[in-house]
Amino acid sequence: MIEVQGVSHQFAIGKKGKERIVPVLHHIDMRVEQGEIVAIVGRSGSGKSTLLNLISGYIRPTLGDIRVMGQTVTKLSEGQWADFRLAHFGFMFQSFQLIPSMTAFENVELPLVLQGMRIDRRKRRASDMLERVGLAEYAGHYPGELSGGQQQRVSVARALVLNPPIVLADEPTGSLDSDNERQLLRLIGELNREQGTTFLIITHDEQVAAVGHRTVTLQDGRIRPQTNGNEFDDLATAHVRF
């Protein structure tokens, strides 16, 4: 599903001609199989978000290649990447990133509009997703009228409305209280089991990481030996008992 092959990345900081090169990732090799929930953990500055941005194509690696669903995405143009993201990825963010001038329904509907789906189909699909996350009665509310937990559920509905095979989540529970965190983790587990959705989750929260089938630990831009997946067999479904 996702193959990261010999990827290194560095940033240039400072004025042109006087840049300071800051290495962030070093020779990353990683594979995520279809239907896995993989948690990427590590301290702040370890390169977690950079790795996610590389996989999603928002930045290009200095060295190495990335393949997603058999496609070498590092060779795509910006326009091709935009189309590829829309077709294959859903995104969850800590800050929700909802459009404040659009209702909950309109925020969820937006990816369907961008895809060019017929109006009757997209209205039905957006309504179904809001009902799935328990927010059907809040469809006409704007983000500023919703709680943090409700905003995150709108964000989740938007991420999943196209039934993407892969969801990339950057600290998705970071702005949530413990009750809303448990609800979100339960939903992730249900979607993984029912639809086979692959999740790649960046987190510093051990409880969130425990939802994963396995954990990848980044330290100083390098992957530490991966945790044996068997250790997480029970934890991978533990959230359904919260």
The mean per-residue pLDDT over the stretch 59-88 comes to 91
Does residue 143 form part of some domain?
Answer: yes
Residue among 53, 65, 77 at smallest CA distance from 3: 65
Q: Domain range for residue 154?
A: 33-62+76-241
pLDDT at 226: 57
Does residue 45 form part of some domain?
Answer: yes
CA distance 215 to 42: 10
pLDDT 10s digits, 7-62:
999 988 887 777 788 899 999 999 999 999 999 998 888 899 999 999 998 999 99
Paired strand residues for 92: 169
* 3 state SS of 216: strand
Does residue 71 form part of some domain?
Answer: no
Does residue 106 form part of some domain?
Answer: yes
Does residue 23 form part of some domain?
Answer: no
The mean per-residue pLDDT over the stretch 115-133 comes to 93
Does residue 84 form part of some domain?
Answer: yes
CA distance 97 to 158: 11
The domain that contains 151 carries what CATH number? 3.40.50.300
**CB-CB contact of 65 with 127 (8 Å):** no
Q: How many domains is the chain partitioned into structurally?
A: 1
Does residue 88 form part of some domain?
Answer: yes
| Paired tokens of 177 | 């209280």
Does residue 4 form part of some domain?
Answer: no
The mean per-residue pLDDT over the stretch 218-223 comes to 91
CA distance 42 to 39: 10
CA distance 224 to 204: 15
What separation in angstroms does the CA of 33 have from each of 2, 20, 42, 89, 206?
7, 37, 21, 15, 22
Residue 195 above 50 pLDDT?
Answer: yes
Task: Report which of residues 39 and 174 the model is more confident about.
Answer: 39
